[in-house]
Amino acid sequence: MAAVPVLFVIVGKNEPLYEAEIDTSTGIHSSSSGDLSTRQNYFVLHSALDLVEKSAWTTNSMYLRVVDKVNHQQVSTFLTAANVKFMLLHSGKGEEVVKNFFNEVYQYYVKLSMNPFYKFDTPISSKAFDTRVRAAARAYLS
Amino acid sequence: MATSKCSQAGQQLWAKMPKVGGYTRLCFAWSVIGFLVHTNSSYRITHQANAELFALTYGSLVTELVRDHEDPIEVNKQLDKIGKSIGVRCVDEFLAKADVAGLGLASQCQSLRDTAEVVARMGFRMFLGVGAECGAFSQDQKSFSIYFHDNPLSTFVELPPAGDDQMGDDLRKLKYSNIYCGIIRGALEQVNLKVDVTLVQCTLKGDEVNEIRVELKEVLADGAGDDYKEE
């Protein structure tokens, strides 16, 4: 199985606030995954949103684990206190690993939301946040 | 005891305020909070005020100003103005407390160099809880710089990138911590030193250190004896 890049998306109330596609494979990255699979990824994530809302009521913890599986891909979700969804599309990473990644990103997100220039539930344009998330993804998910 | 006196005075002031707009109220609220914060972080009272509350309150003040005025230059001016009215007040508190604490303020400052030392080393430590250094005196000893690394006001702040229209204007021109300039200007004016203060470097803009340049314009004659004048 070729190493599929993971897709990390932060979803607010009405729209995605942030997205990052992170290539976690350390070797030569395959060019086979093109436009088609990217679109399919978004489709999978979007359809998982309903399942996120459903499973949010089944647990007390913020980490909702894997909420949806499509073929080889899984969607893990983390729900912050303000109902902002962190969603990660991956091909079977360990639950703990993903949890740690989410916790790290959550820290960065909290730091970002303390910034007076960031308005809640608006797209995230901070470069520092982006680099931090990517670094975290590389550290935890590869 | 002191608190109840404060709150009484506060209520009286507040009662006088209905004719002014929300913005003035906000300024007022901030200066009250600022007052509480630096009362607590002074030498005598050991427990510290919550730095996060302080930083977040200042942050919302600045963003409110940005929303109201749009032009960052105008926001800088407003911050300077607010700072001045804080500085005018806190110089008294500073002199009273610094004296009480007996931290080497043995006599009056004899030159601008002394003043710089006092402002940077004691003022910053007392009101903000961070250390600052002074340096870069000019040839004629009429201007100097204050350097400090930790800026308690900008704890969580990250200026939005240049192309970001969320705030409407180019915030690169915004001097986020410009309130310091006003405070120093106001405080020194109370002790008869007319100065120009500018924020030269700011860590928010990627500089190594925060630098505030202070330039002495004139020593005001009013109230000061001849022996007090510069040189």
Shortest CA gap A116–chain B (Å): 5
- What is the average per-residue pLDDT within A88-102? 88
* Count of structural domains, chain B: 1
H-helix or E-strand spanning residue A50: helix A35-56
* Inter-chain touch A116–B60, beta carbons under 8 Å: yes
Domain A6-141: top CATH class: alpha beta
Annotate A94-137 with DSSP letters as a single string: -HHHHHHHHHHHHHHHHHHHTSTTPPTTS----HHHHHHHHHHH
Distances (CA, A) of A28 to A5, A32, A139: 12, 12, 18
Residue that the structure tokens 């806190």 belong to: B90
Range of the domain at B43: 2-228
**Cβ contact, residue pair B167, A117, below 8 Å:** yes
Give the pLDDT confidence of A5-60 residue by residue, as tens digits.
Answer: 788 999 998 888 998 888 766 544 444 455 667 788 888 888 898 888 888 888 88
The number of angstroms, rounded, from the C-alpha of A130 to the middle of its chain's C-alpha atoms is 12
Report d(CA B7, CA B13) in Å as an integer: 10
* pLDDT band at B153; cut points 50, 70, 90: confident
pLDDT for B126 equals 81
What is the percent of chain A with per-residue pLDDT over 70, rounded to a whole number? 88
Mutation target to probe the A interface, by most A beta carbons within 10 A, among B63, B156, B167, B177 is B156
- Vertex A137: Cα angle to A136 and A139 (nearest 5): 65
Predicted pLDDT at B222:
62
Distance from CA of B157 to the nearest CA of A (A): 5
CATH of the domain at B77: 3.30.1380.20
Q: Tell me which chain A residues have a C-beta less than 8 angstroms from the C-beta of B159.
A: 117
In this structure, how many other beta carbons lie within 10 angstroms of the beta carbon of residue B117?
17
Who contacts A27 (Cβ-Cβ below 8 Å, separation ≥6)?
A3
B4-62 pLDDT, tens digit each:
554 555 555 445 444 444 444 444 455 545 544 554 444 444 446 688 888 888 888 98
Contact A125 B156 (CB under 8 A): no
Q: Nearest-CA neighbor of B185 among B107, B99, B76?
A: B76
The sign of the torsion formed by the CA atoms of B29, B35, B41, B47 equals: negative
User: What is the ipTM for the molecules in this complex?
Assistant: 0.71
Quick one: angle between helices B22-40 and B51-69, nearest 10? 160
Over residues B201-225, the mean pLDDT reads 80
List residues in chain B touching A: CB distance below 8 A: 52, 56, 59-60, 62-63, 155-161, 164, 166-167, 171
pLDDT interval class at B64 (50, 70, 90): confident
Tell whether the torsion through CA atoms of A57, A58, A63 and A69 is positive or negative.
negative
B-chain CB neighbours of A119 within 8 Å are: 166
AA identity, residue B134: C
Average pLDDT of span B168-193: 83
pLDDT of A108 strictly over 60: yes
Nearest-neighbour CA in chain B from A32: distance (Å): 34
d(CA A18, CA A30): 25
Q: Are the C-beta atoms of residues A77 and A86 closer than 8 Å to each other? A: yes
